[in-house]
Amino acid sequence: MPDLATFQQLYDEFKAEVLAAPADRLNDFSPGSFLDAFAAVAATASQGIQRWMLRQVMRAFVSDAMGGDLDYVVVDRYGSEISRRPDESDTDYRLRVDAWLDALGRGTPLALRIYAESLEAVLSAAVTENVQTGQTTVTAVFDDTQATDDAVRDAFIAGLDGWRAAGDAVNLTLTPVV
């Protein structure tokens, strides 16, 4: 949560603005004075406005929205495919949305390329998909002075658990740097 100004900070800001003005008679901030009371009212109103604005901003994020606001923001961003189940809590719904987005992301060629390139010794990777056969091929160039093709293949396969929710096969072609 962002740092919101405290009552005292808002009061002091108002006082500094008033005292910086050229008028000579606006300088009595003693307790109970008109300016003291007005500064307190302004600081209180400002705090209320800050809290209201923060609540409005929080409603726009899946991580912070609650209840109907959470339902709205999820459907607005991701469609009705991932709408809330009956009697599902906000926390459970957020977890399901996160898992759904993770599974969705893992099925993209970009995600596979980034994953392959994150492996030690892999210098670059390319992904091609054959929609007709359902085959995806990752071609990776690796530094054979850092790892063997078996080590890279084992590391790649170990990290594929849970990828490709649709069940498409992922083939790996390795090319050592010569």
Distance (Å, whole) CA 76 – CA 97: 13
Can you list the domains of the chain with their CATH numbers?
A: 7-103 (no CATH), 107-176 (3.30.300.30)
Is residue 3 very low, low, confident or very high in pLDDT (cuts 50, 70, 90)? Answer: confident
Kindly give, in sequence order, each residue whose CB lies less than 8 Å from that of residue 115, ignoring residues fewer than 6 positions away. Answer: 159, 163
Distance (Å, whole) CA 68 – CA 97: 15
**Greater confidence, 35 or 107?**
35
Q: Is 89's pLDDT higher than 90?
A: yes
**SS3 at position 151:** helix
Q: 102-129, pLDDT tens digit by residue?
A: 766 666 777 778 778 888 888 888 888 7
Report pLDDT for 49: 92
Q: 57-71, pLDDT tens digit by residue?
A: 888 888 889 999 999
